[in-house]
Amino acid sequence: MRYNAYMSIKYDLHTHSTASDGTFSPTELVRHVAATDVGAFALTDHDTTSGIDEAAQSAQQFGMRLVPGVEISVSWHSHVIHILGLSIDPACDNLQQGLAAIRRFRSWRAEEMGCRLEKKGIAGAFEGARILSNGRLISRTHFGRFLVQKGYVKDMREAFQKYLKPGKPGYVSGRWAELEDTITWIVQAGGLAVIAHPARYPLTRTKLRQLLGEFVEAGGTGLEVVSGSHSHDDNFKMGRHAIDFGLFASMGSDYHGPENAWADIGQLPALPDGCEPIWRNWERDHSISA
Ligand code: AMP
Ligand code: MN
Ligand code: MN
Ligand code: MN
C-alpha cells in the first residue's frame, strides 16, 4: 500500500502579493493562508518573482509549503493570455531576462496610460498608480485603485468598465511575451506551464481549443480548471478540456487581497472527477511507502 506525504493537503496555486498587484505583502499573504485549511500555495505574481524569497522565509516559519511561481502576460493573436509557471527556479537567467523585458513594456505602457487618461481630464494617474505600486511593477489594478480613491469611479468594476478594459480610454494595447517563448522559459526554469483562468478569455470554444492545441505542442502541461474567477459551469467545462488534451488540472483562487471580489483562499471546490491533479508530480517526489 502506498501513502502520500501531501495527499491530504489542500492546494491554492494562484495568488498575488504587493510584488505585483496584490494588497498583502508576501509575509501577510503567508499569514493569511496559514489561517485557512490550505496547506500548500503558489505565489504567482504578474511578471515578477521578487516576492518569492520573502514568501519562502515566512512559509518556513508558518510551516506552509510554498510553490514558487509566476503569472506571465502573453500575447496570443489579438488576445492577452496569462500563463502560470509553477514550481519554477527563480534563479533561471532566461526566465529572468524574459520577465525583465515584459516589465519594460509594462513601464512604458503605464506612462502611456497616464497620458491617455490625462487627455480624458484625469490628472496625475501615472504618478498616482506609481505611488500605489510602491515602486514595484505597475498594473491596471493600480490605476483602478487610483481612480476609485480619487472618486472618478465607485469601485474597481466600474474602473475597468469605464476606463481600463480593451476599447476604453485608458487601455493601451501592445505586445507582451510570445506563447512559445514563455513556455520555454518556464521549462528552462524547471517549472510547469499552466494556462491561468481559461474561461475568462473572450475566446470561442474553437479558438480556446486552438490555444490548448498550440499550448500542448509547445510543451505546456497544465490547465487551471478550478479558478476563483470561474463559475461552477466553467470549472466543469475546463475539466473536460483538460481531460481531452491530456493536461494536468490546477486550481487557484487568484487571490489579490481582502477587498478583491473573487474567492478567498480555501474556498475553492475540488477538481472535477477524472482530472489529473498537477500536484501529483510533486507528491510523487515526496511520496512514502508503507
Ligand atoms: P494588467 O496585467 O496590468 O493588464 O492588469 C491585469 C489585472 O487587472 C488582472 O490581473 C486583475 O488583477 C485586474 N483586473 C482585470 N479585470 C478586472 C476587473 N474587471 N475588475 C477588477 N480587476 C480586474
Ligand atoms: Mn492581477
Ligand atoms: Mn490573470
Ligand atoms: Mn492572477
**For residue 137, which of 102, 170, 113, 189 has the smallest C-alpha distance?**
102
- In the structure grid, which three cell numbers stand for residue 139, read together? 498594473
Among 15, 140, 156, name the best residue to mutate to test ligand 1's pocket (greatest count of ligand atoms within 8 A of Cβ).
Answer: 140
Q: How many residues does the chain have?
A: 290
Q: pTM of this prediction?
A: 0.95
Q: Which residues pair with 71 in a beta bridge?
A: 46, 84
Q: How far apart are the first and last CA of the chain?
A: 6
Determine the Cα–Cα distance for residues 9 and 7; give it in Å rounded to an integer: 6
Angle at the Cα of 221 (from 165 to 32), degrees rounded to 5?
60
139 lines ligand 1 (CB under 6 A): yes
Q: What's the 139 CA to ligand 3 centre distance in angstroms?
A: 11
User: 233-258 in b/e burial notation, b at 16+ Cβ within 10 A?
Assistant: ebbebbbebbbeeebbbbbbbbbbbe
Q: What's the 45 CA to ligand 4 centre distance in angstroms?
A: 7
14 lines ligand 1 (CB under 6 A): no
Question: Are 242 and 274 in contact, with CB atoms under 8 Å apart?
Answer: no
Q: How confident is the model at residue 276 (pLDDT cuts 50, 70, 90)?
A: very high
Q: Give the pLDDT confidence of 208-262 residue by residue, as tens digits.
A: 999 999 999 999 999 999 999 999 999 999 999 999 999 999 999 999 999 876 7
Q: Give the pLDDT confidence of 18-71 residue by residue, as tens digits.
A: 999 999 999 999 999 999 999 999 999 999 999 999 999 999 999 999 999 999
- In the structure grid, which three cell numbers stand for residue 30, read together? 503567508
Backbone angles phi, psi at 85, to 5 degrees: -110, 115
Measured from the alpha carbon of residue 69, the closest ligand is 4
156 lines ligand 1 (CB under 6 A): yes
Largest CA distance in the chain: 68
**For residue 196, which of 45, 89, 30 has the smallest C-alpha distance?**
45
* Per-residue model confidence (pLDDT) at position 260: 74
**What average pLDDT is seen over the chain?**
94
* Per-residue model confidence (pLDDT) at position 262: 72
